[in-house]
């Protein structure tokens, strides 16, 4: 990997306000002046008390939330001002997101759920399924479950399927929301290992980890999102 000095993720002065039209048009400012950047191969941990805006920031970066102002540059695209199809293209090829919840079409097999990010960038089916199988095996999902839909799996199993899916394709930028929460020691070690490997290949990662020893192990530095709390509300 050649050293790169331009950040993969570059966030400048982002603010976010919610307007609740059906509750007296209440204006709720939740973030102001959020600025941070992440270089390839680097993992940055978001910290701050519950409600400080860690997940809000993740959703802004992924394009689920509309920024009120500022810029969110990822691989040359400003998510804060992009067309839907540009964001979809970014999510296919550049930006991965491991959320805390698995959302899938019912009836699709676990193997295909995990292989889907690869199939959507045109990876041949056999190759995509091989990669999916290898990740599922690493994360200790028993092979007899691979042909079933994960909708009936236990919470822990669903979480591991979600992680396998998030790591199937080698995204240059990744967002990880509590990837090690509620995992046993062995699976936790596997996930931390996947994160280390992603960093080695040059992925820029932003993560939320409540598990302190996990975050000490994989994060290169931390950003306290409390610093981005709106001044007026403080």
The site for other proteins (CB under 8 A) is made up of: 18-22, 59, 62-66, 84-85, 87-88, 103, 105-108, 119-120
- Non-local (6+) Cβ contacts of 68 within 8 A are 15, 16, 17
Minimal distance, residue 183 CB to other proteins, in Å: 26
- Residue with smaller CB distance to other proteins, 56 or 159: 56
Minimal distance, residue 185 CB to other proteins, in Å: 33
Minimal distance, residue 41 CB to other proteins, in Å: 28
Axis crossing angle, helix 125-138 with helix 110-119, rounded to the nearest 10: 130
**Which run of H or E residues covers position 39?**
none
- Residue with smaller CB distance to other proteins, 66 or 137: 66
**Tokens for 144?**
């007899």
- Residue with smaller CB distance to other proteins, 22 or 186: 22
Minimal distance, residue 60 CB to other proteins, in Å: 9
CA distance 148 to 128: 17
Axis crossing angle, helix 110-119 with helix 155-168, rounded to the nearest 10: 20
- Residue with smaller CB distance to other proteins, 71 or 188: 71
């Amino acid at each position: 990997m050649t050293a790169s000095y331009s950040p993969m993720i570059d966030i400048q002065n982002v603010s976010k306000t919610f307007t609740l039209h059906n509750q007296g048009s209440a204006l709720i400012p939740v973030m102001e002046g959020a600025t941070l950047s992440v270089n390839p191969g680097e993992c940055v941990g978001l910290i701050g008390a519950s409600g400080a805006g860690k997940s809000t920031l993740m959703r802004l970066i992924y394009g689920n939330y509309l920024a009120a102002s500022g810029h969110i540059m990822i691989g040359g695209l400003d998510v804060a001002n992009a067309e839907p199809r540009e964001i979809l293209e970014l999510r296919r090829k550049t930006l991965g997101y491991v959320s805390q919840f698995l959302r899938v079409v019912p009836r699709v097999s676990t193997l295909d759920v995990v292989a889907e990010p690869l199939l959507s960038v045109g990876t041949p089916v056999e190759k995509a399924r091989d990669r999916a199988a290898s990740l599922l095996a690493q994360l200790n999902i028993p092979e007899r479950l691979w042909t079933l839909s994960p909708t009936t799996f236990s919470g822990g199993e669903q979480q591991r399927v979600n992680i396998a899916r998030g790591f199937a394709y080698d995204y240059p930028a990744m967002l990880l929301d509590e990837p090690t929460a509620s995992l046993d020691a062995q699976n936790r070690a596997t996930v931390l290992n996947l994160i280390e490997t992603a960093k080695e290949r040059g992925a820029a990662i932003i993560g939320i980890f409540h598990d302190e020893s996990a975050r000490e192990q994989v994060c290169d530095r931390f950003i306290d999102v409390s610093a981005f709390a709106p001044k007026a509300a403080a």
